[in-house]
Structure 1
Amino acid sequence: MHHFSDASTCGYGQCSYLRMINENDEIHCTFLIGKARVSPSKIITIPRLELTAAVVSVRMSNMLREELNLTNVDEFFWTDSKVVLGYINNDARRFHTFVANRVQKIRQSTEPEQWLYVPTDENPADIASRGRTINELLSSNWFSGPSFLWEREITTSDVVLDLPVGDPEVKKIQTLQTKTTESKDLVDHLSKFSSWSKATKAIARLLRWIKRDKASSPASVSEQEDARCWHAPKRNFQIGDIVMDIDETLPRSEWRLGRITETVLSSDGLVRKAKIALGDKRLNKKGERVHKTSIVERPAQKLVLLLEAE
């Protein structure tokens, strides 16, 4: 079966033909059905009307196969709209709702390879879309079908099926690229030190750099004294504060730094205890800490505030 569809501003329609070859290789074509409809009063673009006519062809195909009980018959669908062929053969782009729904209906019942291009002057469905008088209809190819269906070999036209640039039915895809940068404050840098001694030496070197002193020697005792800015807290500890854990069983140079993760308030509103995250000061051969961060609970009097949380 061969189905032809066409559309114009006046109307749209389709016509179907059955092409048979007998045992003597004689070809015969017969008219099966034709359907014509008036275009909607609402203004619709020609490509949309052409696509709607193609959907009508698919519906007629389904109806004919069911009514004629045809199970093993080759079917071909012809249109003179290259845009419609581009829509049907498209696998990469997304369309707006009107076109997307109709292309889906077409591809549910047919394959893109079944859709072929026919020049307008050979398309009998052009009669359904524009209308003819009785005499014009009798002298046309409406009942007999186009002449190439009567030939032994049907030749098809090679057309480019790429969608035109700027087609309004194609959804525009907007791609956004986001780039995030992680900013670290002094609190984040100090939390990497596992002992007060190492933190003081680092601050001493930093103060030396601020003074534009390019000396590469280790921090002196006086520079380390200047860098020691720790003091007793003048306010309650808060989550995020960087503190030093006073461990009287260890030398002061081995006291560890930590970040407060939770505070415990007493009835008078003062922080009496706090949970802090401590990092292991021991490193393996790769320079990584031996154990992950541990959470310990310490009394407030055993903590010294170094940096307040922002």
Structure 2
Amino acid sequence: MKTIQGISQFKSSISTAVTIGTFDGVHIGHRKILERLINDAKTAGHKSTVLTFFPHPRMVLQKDTEIKLLNTLDEKIEILKSLGLDYLIIHPFTKEFSRLSATEFVRDILVNTLNTKRIIIGYDHRFGRNRNASIQDLIGFGNSLDFEVEEIPAQEIDDVSVSSTKIRNALLEGDIATANAYLGYPYTLSGTIKAGKGLGKQFGFPTANIHIKESYKLIPKKGVYVVKGTLDSSEYFGMMNIGSNPTVSGKEQTIEVNFFHINADLYNKSVQVKLLHRLRDEHKFDSVEELRKQLEKDKQKSLQLIDEHYA
């Protein structure tokens, strides 16, 4: 997959099959459209192309909206790359871009720049200034500008019964099982390991403190999770706490992972952590010793689940 930053950087005389959207989460509903795009493009001799936008349009048009996203941009690129697309075009979303009329968007971008011969899109897709054009308008443009429109009907998308919003809500409620089922893969946090206070090490549970630079990344509900992390291309199981460590009078939210079976200097390493199972809420214990005993129980439960379901 070739990733292109900005529509104007797309240079190809080869015809394309295109789908358009933010694709936050690249969940199982999105994949129905993407799989059809890739298959249809191969059959017709086109290049499969996703046109997406960053920042998310709601970040630009509704600045008071504190929207959190399921993927960082790098995570989304990695997932889309694994699907076998030919091109991913990431276009900067601005207020000026949002003011393009439907005619300008279709004629100048889809046809004259991307050389689009086929568009595969969901039945409820809207586009153009104020989102005032529908898929019926797109079909009309196709008839006059020589491209086909394939509509993904309501029953196919609704059968999946999944949306990025439903996944965000599940994560915020701590329902990692539902979120992972809708995503089709474990929810992932990506960041850099930074030095923490070292409190975990004092009672036998050294932790990697994960810093996520993207403030828009959704952090699931506080609590303890079974996880699998990737460090230096190797995978390690562990347990992760999202919370403020109230037993030791913590104030700020942290993301800390106790990796099992690893003893190395992890500072400043990049890490990806997949959330597999939620064990419990975060609690304030009466003493550090009570916390230590609970962490031991958490570890044994984690190891049991890993052995039974994830090893």
TM-score range, shorter chain: under 0.3
Q: What's the TM-score once normalised by structure 2's chain length?
A: 0.23
Kindly indicate which of the two structures has a greater share of residues assigned to strand: 2
Larger radius of gyration: 1
Q: What's the TM-score once normalised by structure 1's chain length?
A: 0.24
Kindly indicate which of the two structures has a greater share of residues assigned to helix: 2
